[in-house]
Amino acid sequence: MKKIFLLTCFLIPVLLPALSQDRLMGKTFATRAVVMARHGMACTSHPLSTQAAIDVLRSGGNAIDAAIAANAMEGLVEPHVNGIGGDLFAIVWDAKTKKLYGLNASGRSPYSLTLAEFQKRGLTHIPSDGPLPVSVPGCVDGWFTLHKRFGKKPMPEILSHAIRYAREGYPVHDEAAFYWPSMIARFSKYPNVKETYAPNGAAPKRGELFRNPALANTLEKIAKGGRDAFYKGDIAQTIDAFMKKMGGYLSAKDLADHTSDWVEPVSTNYRGYDVWELPPNSQGIAALQMLNLLEGYDFSKIPWGSPEHIHRFVEAKKLAFEDRAKYYADPAFAKIPVNELISKSYADERRKLIDLNRAASRVDAGNPALKQGDTIYLTVADEEGNMVSLIQSNYRGFGSGMVPDGLGFMLQDRGELYSLTDGQNNTFAPHKRPFQTIIPAFVTKDGQPFMSFGVMGGGFQPMGHVQIIMNMIDYGMNPQEAGDAPRIDHDGSSEPTGERMTDSGEIKLESGYPYETIRDLMRKGHKVGYGLGGYGGYQAIMYDAVNKVYHGATESRKDGQAAGF
């Protein structure tokens, strides 16, 4: 079966150029209809998570309650991409105040771990597994911070869906079943991994029931005891003891001192639509920088999928990502010229560096004037008009491999994203937040909510956000078409971890682009390949203010569901 799948993936690019030109113009991309409803909408990457959110909405909860319920379910049913051992970011549209609120619920590095320790070990990069990349998990505090400000229903009721399924079991879906065996193979050398994730001796297969009673117990403690049960109670002590046993540095004090931060979302206007992201330490403003650069081109005269479209997109990405590598970091440790980076005047200057006929093999970060001074994405909307854009992750796959005794979850490896090079914005330091890839997004028009959306997928996320916006605004696609249209990825830019761009990198194209486009891109000096994955996972809710109807879309490449009532 796997051989047939791979053969099909390689044949599709050969056959697709024979399709009608209309398809390449974005007219028939949708794999399913947009879901429409008036009273509430939930779009997540797993049907059980969507149904948990809908149940909460139907029983009188609001969008914030439902988003927390869905995220808790996601940590159970999709442990390969998220969980309470990871971090969280969110943007909330509050219908009462008619304002956006941003939450940074990412954790910091351990107090006791230093740059000198990495240097003493001769490391140039932080490893992706083991105790060293573990930072404080911010997810649970994020839930309670959101709930304290906006929530309605009691937390035990919100978390009850995840608790019940963790105890009773759920059937493992396709995507999780595909990735699960590799996780077991990679992390089985660490304690508690097999006992938690392969209790029958092997990774659960598609359709097989999986139970995680230890996670059910942990969630029950959190539901009853609040955020302090996780950060100051028995759970924190268990994490502390386990990390000491593993030679790690995360301590009870690191957990006790953790706080989430309310932050002001930042935006740029793209052809009349205000696109909102969260400021660093996340990479959200890379999407805004790309949009500013691309706004200088008239895409009404540049067909979708043409070499001109892809070339401009990739060259804009290169410029934005060089700034990302140099500037984005924890603002408590570095001066980051956010306003200057996302300004139109800065984009106008940087756009002059784009050669419309040739791929850049080397670009440098800009110099804006400094003023002093793999993830899940889900979105929920309710009858009152509240909307939540929420993203949550363990970073690389299941995480670090560190599963504390009896808790039922794995700690994240987000610390892998620090640089170990002295003097950079993102250089490792104690009690510092790392550069973050996970970014929620929101769009308003004339001060009113237009769309809550996100595209999970590591460094791909800003590129995914920009493609959704362009597909809808420049090419007239609906929210489902915008997500289903074949995607563009690009590897090879400099990274906040210290790697530098050395050549033009490689464009990776999903099936759906004609050979003529690929040939013309190669003539411009691009390396082009077809990718079989890595294009992220998308969810969106668009609000039709005229008819007062929500339009929900979900990722056709995954197991997700959009549902409303």
Annotated catalytic residues are 375
- 253 Cβ partners below 8 Å, 6+ apart? 111
Distance CA 218, CA 402 (A): 16
Structure-block tokens of residue 352 = 């002059």
C-alpha dihedral, 424 to 441 to 557 to 177, nearest 10°: 70
**105, 282, 524 from 511: Cα distances, Å:** 36, 30, 21
Structural contact between residues 93 and 255, judged by C-beta atoms closer than 8 angstroms? no
3-state SS string for 128-168: CCCCCCCCCCCHHHHHHHHHHHHCCCCHHHHCHHHHHHHHH
Count of other CB atoms within 10 angstroms of residue 98 = 12
What is the C-alpha R_g of the chain?
22
- 304 Cβ partners below 8 Å, 6+ apart? 24, 25, 26, 471, 474, 475, 485
- Helix, strand and coil content of the chain, in percent to the nearest 5, comes to 40, 20, 45
- 345 Cβ partners below 8 Å, 6+ apart? none
Distance CA 408, CA 387 (A): 30
Distance CA 563, CA 478 (A): 17
Nearest to 188 by CA among 170, 203, 210, 171: 203
Distance CA 381, CA 360 (A): 42
Distance CA 53, CA 106 (A): 23
- 16 Cβ partners below 8 Å, 6+ apart? 511, 512, 513, 514
Distance CA 415, CA 243 (A): 15
- 259 Cβ partners below 8 Å, 6+ apart? 141
